[in-house]
Amino acid sequence: MALQRALVVVRVAKAKNRDSGRSMHFRPGKQSQSANSTCEETQRGGKGSSKTTRSQRTNKTYKQRVSGRPTVDDVERASRGDRTKAMGVVEREAPYRLTRDEREAWERAKKRGVLETRSTSKDALAPHRFPLVNTHRAYCDATARMFVCVEQDAQGEDEVVVDLSTLRARADGAARARLMTMGVEVGAIVDDLCGDEEPLAAQMRYVAITKAGLERTALVELLDGGEVETTPSPSEDDIDAARDAVAVVADRVRALKDSGKSNADEDVKAGVQELISLKATLEAMEAAASRNIEGSDQTGVNAEEELESVEEEARRSIEELPIHGLPERFVRFKCSDRAMAKSLSKAISQEDLSPLCL
Please give the pLDDT value at position 255: 84
Mean pLDDT, the chain, as a whole number? 78
Percent of the chain with pLDDT over 90: 37
For 150-171, give one letter per residue: b (16+ CB within 10 A) or e: bbbbeeeebbbbbbbbbbbbbe
* pLDDT tens-digit map of 38-82: 444 444 444 445 555 655 555 555 568 888 899 999 999 999 999
Please give the pLDDT value at position 260: 81
* pLDDT tens-digit map of 202-227: 888 888 877 766 555 555 565 665 44
**Does an H or E element contain 203, and which?**
helix 199-212
pLDDT of 340 higher than 80: yes
Contact (Cβ atoms closer than 8 angstroms) between residue 333 and residue 159:
yes
**94 falls in which pLDDT band (50, 70, 90)?**
confident
Contact (Cβ atoms closer than 8 angstroms) between residue 218 and residue 237:
no
Please give the pLDDT value at position 51: 59
**33 falls in which pLDDT band (50, 70, 90)?**
very low
Length of the chain: 358
Please give the pLDDT value at position 35: 47
Name the nearest CA neighbour of 145 among 110, 117, 120.
110
Please give the pLDDT value at position 6: 58
Contact (Cβ atoms closer than 8 angstroms) between residue 300 and residue 154:
no
Beta-carbon count within 10 A of 10 CB = 4
pLDDT of 17 higher than 90: no
Ramachandran area for residue 195 (φ above 0: left; ψ -120 to 50: alpha; else beta): left
CA distances from 88 to 92, 96, 147, 287, 327 (A): 8, 13, 20, 54, 16
**242 falls in which pLDDT band (50, 70, 90)?**
confident
pLDDT of 160 higher than 90: yes
Contact (Cβ atoms closer than 8 angstroms) between residue 164 and residue 354:
no
Please give the pLDDT value at position 61: 54
Torsion, CA 174, CA 180, CA 182, CA 184, rounded to 10: -150
pLDDT of 322 higher than 60: yes
DSSP 8-state secondary structure symbol assigned to residue 87: B
Contact (Cβ atoms closer than 8 angstroms) between residue 344 and residue 335:
yes
